Amino acid sequence: MITIVSDTHSRSGHQLEGRTAEAVREADLVVHAGDFVTESVLDAFEGESDRLFAVYGNNATPGVRDRLPPERTFEAEGVRFVVTHGDGRSATGLSLLGRQQDADAVVFGHSHRHGVTDAGEVLLLNPGSHAQPRGGLPTHVELRPADGRLDGEIRHRDGSVVEAFEIGTSR
């Protein structure tokens, strides 16, 4: 399983609760789309996950920026991902980034609002914020392999499914 989170916005701990905490601990891979804020929060996430792919966000301290890139591209389960915090990029800008990186999906945060958008050649995926949803739901994403694709769910911290989707490979 792949678990995706974003926008922790903490200065002292990972802020993981409920199903989100379970999903991070159970995951083969955890993806974080930025805004840990401090190194102690990044350390806390590293302590909860066996394999963490993360980027820094616009609120990252210099120590976090020294340890993480602003973007990263990787493959998991045959699907190519590009991860960025987003920092106000439009859907068009995120879609262009995905196409430039030959990605199947662009994972981003920044807005604290979950969402899945099919942008043609690439899927745009925002897990929302598990810790500070700013009036929305506290959410994360869980992805599981299924017949050459990934079945995905945006989940509330209580474990309920908010939205289901799939990511296929375009190559």
pLDDT (mean) for 138-167: 95
Q: Distance (Å, rounded) from C-alpha 34 to C-alpha 158? A: 22
Structural domain harbouring 6: 2-167
* pLDDT at residue 148 in the model: 82
> Taking 70 as the threshold, does the pLDDT of residue 20 lie above it?
yes
Side-chain-facing half-sphere of 63: CA atoms under 13 Å:
9
Q: Distance (Å, rounded) from C-alpha 83 to C-alpha 108? A: 6
- Looking at residue 56, which CATH number applies to its domain? 3.60.21.10
Domain count, the chain: 1
Give which of 77, 83, 72, 73 is closest to 150, Cα–Cα: 77
Out of 11-15, 50-54, 61-65, 101-105, pick the least confident. Answer: 11-15
The label of the residue with tokens 């389960």 reads: 77
- Concatenating the DSSP letter of every residue in 47-83 gives HH-SSEEE---TT--HHHHHHS-SEEEEEETTEEEEE
* pLDDT at residue 170 in the model: 57
The pLDDT > 70 percentage for the chain reads 99
Please provide the average confidence, as pLDDT, over all residues in the chain: 93
* pLDDT at residue 171 in the model: 44
> Taking 60 as the threshold, does the pLDDT of residue 46 lie above it?
yes
